[in-house]
């Protein structure tokens, strides 16, 4: 898919939502395959949101994401141990700045052997079926190429059909070993288009997040004003009775 095609389609859809349907311009919804999804690069400021997203998962989803029924304490250790300087942590937010999808691209540079990257992703149950996991997979591949990574892989339970389907769709070699499966994908070296795509994805995600943050702040202020008005009305009503 051409980056320029994505930009054009995204601009067209953004104009339709922003001007023709202003209330829907920032929603997380099913996207046309050629429309960009605002994926945000996360950092230290987002640990609490990451923690909430992962703890919200039910037992089955925790098994699929971590390979075992992770407890809240284990999730807390995982989140606190994330190295944002080394790895790429990405997220997709809704208008309330709640994580709908989260991915972790762990970069490995062993002393012997080639550099490689492991990908993991989780999507809120209500946001599944929108292609968000696939978009995050594609974004992670661009990150990996930008970092000079040639081997991209996934370690998943064999029952994690959606994740393995995404890997196969992108040409990964899938090897099953009992209840666990490894999916390997060879990435081409970075080029000018991949470098540009990585930059555009990052800028688009940042801008979209900033707009959502301002929108949420405005909604919060309006809610506070309404609460104050209700309190004043109630006080007047009581004083007049």
Q: What is the pLDDT of residues 89-116, one digit of tens each?
A: 999 999 889 999 999 999 999 888 899 9
Q: Which structural domains are found in the chain, ordered by start?
A: 36-240 (3.40.630.30)
Q: What is the pLDDT of residues 45-95, one digit of tens each?
A: 999 999 999 999 999 999 999 999 999 999 999 999 999 999 999 999 998
pTM for the full predicted model: 0.75
Dihedral (CA of 208, 213, 214, 219) sign = positive
- Please give the angle made by the CA atoms of 101, 142 and 98, to the nearest 5 degrees: 15
Average pLDDT over residues 1-19: 46
């Amino acid at each position: 898919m051409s980056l320029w095609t994505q930009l054009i389609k995204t601009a067209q859809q953004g104009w339709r939502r922003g001007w023709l349907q202003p209330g829907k311009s920032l929603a997380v919804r099913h996207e046309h395959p050629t429309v960009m999804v605002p994926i945000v690069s996360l950092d230290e400021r987002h640990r609490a949101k990451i923690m909430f997203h992962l703890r919200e998962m039910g037992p089955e989803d925790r098994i699929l994401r971590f390979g075992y029924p992770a407890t809240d304490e284990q999730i807390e250790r995982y989140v606190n141990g994330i190295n944002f300087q080394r790895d790429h942590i990405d997220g997709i937010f809704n208008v309330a700045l709640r994580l709908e999808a989260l991915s972790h691209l762990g970069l490995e540079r062993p002393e012997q052997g080639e550099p490689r990257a492991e990908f993991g992703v989780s999507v809120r149950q209500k946001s599944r079926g929108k292609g968000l996991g696939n978009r995050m997979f594609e974004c992670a591949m661009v990150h990996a190429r930008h970092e000079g990574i040639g081997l991209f892989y996934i370690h998943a339970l064999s029952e994690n059909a959606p994740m393995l389907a995404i890997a196969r769709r992108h040409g990964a070699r899938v090897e099953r070993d009992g209840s666990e499966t490894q999916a390997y994908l060879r990435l081409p070296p970075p080029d000018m288009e991949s470098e540009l795509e990585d930059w555009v994805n990052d800028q688009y995600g940042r801008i979209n997040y900033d707009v959502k943050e301002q929108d949420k702040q405005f909604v919060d202020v309006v809610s506070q004003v309404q609460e104050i008005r209700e309190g004043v009305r109630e006080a007047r009503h009581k004083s007049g009775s």
